[in-house]
Amino acid sequence: MKIGLLGHGVVGGGVRAIIDEGATWEVRELEIAKILVKDESEMVDPRTTLHAEDILNDPSIEVVAECMGGLEPAHTLLKKALQKGKHVVTSNKKMLATYCEDLFETARENGVTVHYEASCGGGIPWMASLDRTRRVDDIDSFRGIFNGTTNYILSRMYSEGTDFEEMLKEAQELGYAERDPSDDIDGHDVRYKVSLSCVKAFDTLQNIQDIVTYGIRNIRKEDLDWAKANGYACKLIGTGAYRGDFISACVIPMFLKKDDVFANIPLNFNAIESRSKTLGPATFVGQGAGSLPTAHAVVQNLIDIWKNQDPEINDKSIRPIDNTLHTGVFYIRTKKIALFADIMDRRISEDAFLTRKISLVQADMAVKSAVDDTLFIAEVAE
Ligand code: HSE
């Protein structure tokens, strides 16, 4: 099966390497026919081209694998590929979460499919497991440590007693962080992954801006000191739950009890768990990023297409997000503590307190109306 590869960076280079090596008979059925690269400096392989048309207009190429990242030109190129009757595989969570409805509709109209295992959880077979679970069960909810960069930062801050900036720098030096680390530390990367997990888990599309999202940009050593002293670890968690006519979905730092399996996921690892009626909790732990783990997931999708083992239907409709049924106790540190009297249960320090049990919507409204760019919020596990 001939493949056109868009992008030859960290992930694209890994896809090319795995397919060229051909370690199994299934991989040997795949062939990278052409590779779209950014500029002449990347033209190190006879298959490389600077012109997307060389791939889009080649009728022998059945599948386009996109590993470019970014919104454009990735979105436009994949749309054109679908219109030309080519299946599409992508690792690009930001682009797909943003243009899911458009690309799925184009795929349906042209009798082809969009595959995206690598967009979420890197090498962890998370999307495939949701498909498989759903052959038997409805998924009730999922939660995950979906971002390796922030897990690395939080793990190191926790074990070393250091502050945020120092550990962000370390994560960047190790190559974990996105080029613009705000996608990682402000929770947007997890928001895209939660949105795409909802598509698989609940068969619904969402408006991504409705997913309540808090990151770890403002976390300080004193927040983790309080968590540690009270028997908690801190992790950035993305969750989704099926609630009939609505979906609840959010991204928020959580203070988890130390015996929670997620509290002990170290360094840059990811962990993701689904819950369904007969299977109960099913938890996956592994490398959520990196060249070969992510490329592995892309190649798995390519083999699915070649084998015609194609559970993708791409036939989803938008379901609204409503977080009023998500309730909990929240830890909030803010320089405007006087504004929070209505939801406060117990003061912890001069500028931090615990809320009474409230909905995420109430917490979010109180935080947004305080307009404090130093505020840190975490949900405290019951
Ligand atoms: N920056 C992301 C992470 C890469 O740290 O998990 C994988 O999506």
- Residue 374 domain-assigned (yes or no): no
Integer Cα distance of 220 and 65 in angstroms:
40
CA 61 to centroid of ligand 1, rounded, Å: 30
> Which residues are bridge partners to 236 per DSSP?
253
Q: Please state the rounded mean pLDDT for residues 321-334.
A: 96
* pLDDT the model gives residue 310: 65
Name the phi and psi angles at 234, rounded to 5: -115, 130
Residue 315 has pLDDT above 90, yes or no: no
Residue 319 has pLDDT above 90, yes or no: no
Q: Among residues 267, 287, 307, which one ends one of the domains?
A: 287
Residue 281: which CATH number?
3.30.360.10
Same domain assignment for residues 135 and 277: yes
CA 165 to centroid of ligand 1, rounded, Å: 18
Integer Cα distance of 166 and 153 in angstroms:
9
Classify the C-alpha dihedral 331-356-195-201 as positive or negative. positive
Indicate which atom in ligand 1 lies nearest the CA of residue 147: 6
Q: Please state the rounded mean pLDDT for residues 177-191.
A: 89
* pLDDT the model gives residue 311: 60
Give per-residue pLDDT as tens, 54-89: 999 999 999 999 999 999 999 999 999 999 999 999
* pLDDT the model gives residue 180: 76
Confidence band, pLDDT 50/70/90 cuts, at residue 92: very high
List ligand 1's pocket residues with C-beta within 6 A. Answer: 122, 147-149, 176-178, 184, 189, 288-289
Residue 290 has pLDDT above 80, yes or no: yes
- Residue 17 domain-assigned (yes or no): yes
Residue 109: half-sphere exposure toward Cβ, Cα within 13 Å: 12
What are the structure tokens assigned to 94, written together?
A: 């930001």
Which DSSP state fits 243?
Answer: E
Please give the residue range of the domain that contains residue 116.
2-122+293-315
- Residue 162 domain-assigned (yes or no): yes
Q: What's the Cα-to-Cα distance from 61 to each of 56, 134, 304, 381, rounded to whole Å?
A: 8, 31, 16, 50
Same domain assignment for residues 190 and 105: no
CA 290 to centroid of ligand 1, rounded, Å: 8
- Residue 361 domain-assigned (yes or no): no
* pLDDT the model gives residue 177: 75
CA 278 to centroid of ligand 1, rounded, Å: 31
Residue 229 has pLDDT above 70, yes or no: yes
Mean pLDDT of the chain: 95
* pLDDT the model gives residue 176: 81
Catalytic residues: 193
Residue 145 has pLDDT above 80, yes or no: yes
Integer Cα distance of 111 and 213 in angstroms:
35
- Residue 324 domain-assigned (yes or no): no
Residue 104's nearest CA partner among 127, 76, 79, 139 is 79
Same domain assignment for residues 203 and 262: yes
Same domain assignment for residues 96 and 140: no
Residue 106: which CATH number?
3.40.50.720
Residue 115 has pLDDT above 70, yes or no: yes
Residue 214 has pLDDT above 80, yes or no: yes
Confidence band, pLDDT 50/70/90 cuts, at residue 179: low
Give per-residue pLDDT as tens, 12-54: 999 999 999 999 999 999 999 999 999 999 999 999 999 999 9
Nearest CA to ligand 1 atom 7: 289
Same domain assignment for residues 90 and 182: no
**Cα-to-chain-centroid distance, residue 130:** 14
Residue 223 has pLDDT above 70, yes or no: yes
- Residue 342 domain-assigned (yes or no): no
Same domain assignment for residues 227 and 99: no
Contact 238, 288 (CB under 8 A): no
332 Cβ neighbours under 8 A, 6+ residues apart = 340, 352, 353, 354, 355, 363, 367, 375, 376, 377
The model's pTM is 0.96
Q: Given ligand 1 and candidates 149, 270, 291, which is best to mutate, with the most ligand atoms within 8 Å of its CB?
A: 149
Q: Given ligand 1 and candidates 167, 184, 291, 292, which is best to mutate, with the most ligand atoms within 8 Å of its CB?
A: 184
Residue 363: half-sphere exposure toward Cβ, Cα within 13 Å: 31
Structural domains in the chain (count): 2
Q: Among residues 237, 269, 287, which one ends one of the domains?
A: 287
Nearest CA to ligand 1 atom 2: 147
Indicate which atom in ligand 1 lies nearest the CA of residue 152: 5
Same domain assignment for residues 40 and 89: yes
Give per-residue pLDDT as tens, 239-272: 999 998 899 999 999 999 999 999 999 999 999 9
Percent of the chain with pLDDT over 90: 90
Integer Cα distance of 348 and 350 in angstroms:
7
Same domain assignment for residues 95 and 236: no
> What is the separation, in whole angstroms, between the first and last Cα of the chain?
51
The letter for the amino acid at 40 is E
Same domain assignment for residues 20 and 166: no
Q: Please state the rounded mean pLDDT for residues 144-150.
A: 96
Confidence band, pLDDT 50/70/90 cuts, at residue 227: very high
- Residue 13 domain-assigned (yes or no): yes
Integer Cα distance of 231 and 257 in angstroms:
6
- Residue 173 domain-assigned (yes or no): yes
Same domain assignment for residues 135 and 230: yes
Confidence band, pLDDT 50/70/90 cuts, at residue 317: confident
Nearest CA to ligand 1 atom 4: 289
Which range among 119-128, 131-140, 170-179 shows the weakest confidence by mean pLDDT? Answer: 170-179
* pLDDT the model gives residue 236: 98
CA 120 to centroid of ligand 1, rounded, Å: 9
Q: Among residues 242, 268, 287, which one ends one of the domains?
A: 287
Same domain assignment for residues 139 and 118: no
Same domain assignment for residues 132 and 115: no
Residue 173 has pLDDT above 90, yes or no: no
